[in-house]
Chains A and B, each alone.
Chain A
Amino acid sequence: KAGVTQTPRYLIKTRGQQVTLSCSPISGHRSVSWYQQTPGQGLQFLFEYFSETQRNKGNFPGRFSGRQFSNSRSEMNVSTLELGDSALYLCASSLLGAGLAGLGYEQYFGPGTRLTVT
């Protein structure tokens, strides 16, 4: 079974631009979560989508948004990029979403998209 795929793997953008990152979950997985990893803040939860609906959201500004399509693929968008947005963005998929039924299901992570903002 193919793992979680993320595109692109590397991206360089300029301050003020916007960027869209893509994630394809493991086949059959309906939940997709996004995380930001930086040396200073570590791994932080951005948001989670399940069946095309955002179920959870982390403490990030509105410049960070996402969506999920009917095939469970997800995109994350960051508008008006800032230098501090430079990070590794990780996507994770799991079989089920929020709630006790899905609590025990592990999340499988993709290789990440390394975004550099100059």
Chain B
Amino acid sequence: QVQLQESGPGLVKPSETLSLTCTVSGGSINNYYWSWIRQPPGKGLEWIGYIYYSGSTNYNPSLKSRVTISVDTSNNHFSLKLTSVTAADTAVYYCARHGKEWGFDYWGQGTLVTVSS
């Protein structure tokens, strides 16, 4: 059974960089797309971006200038960096596995990141 687990600081100061890692267990990171999705308190899901196992990436245009997603296939994890954060970036951040056609079949439990001084 594939499992995803997000890890990283739960509190980030304004203007600093949010960094999260998603560790994949029970399956290989190869041959899939891996996304970061976030959900501000009381709001809907927002796709942040994805990385293919080969390293190619694509980002939500609204966040593209601040986002970097990377993958470490040797250690079966991928990571998110979001720079210059503000209070508007406070959200539960999820990592998830998907394909182009079959949707998101495995999700992490989510981690709350609060941006505050």
- Are A and B part of the same complex? no
List the interface of chain A (C-beta within 8 A of B).
none
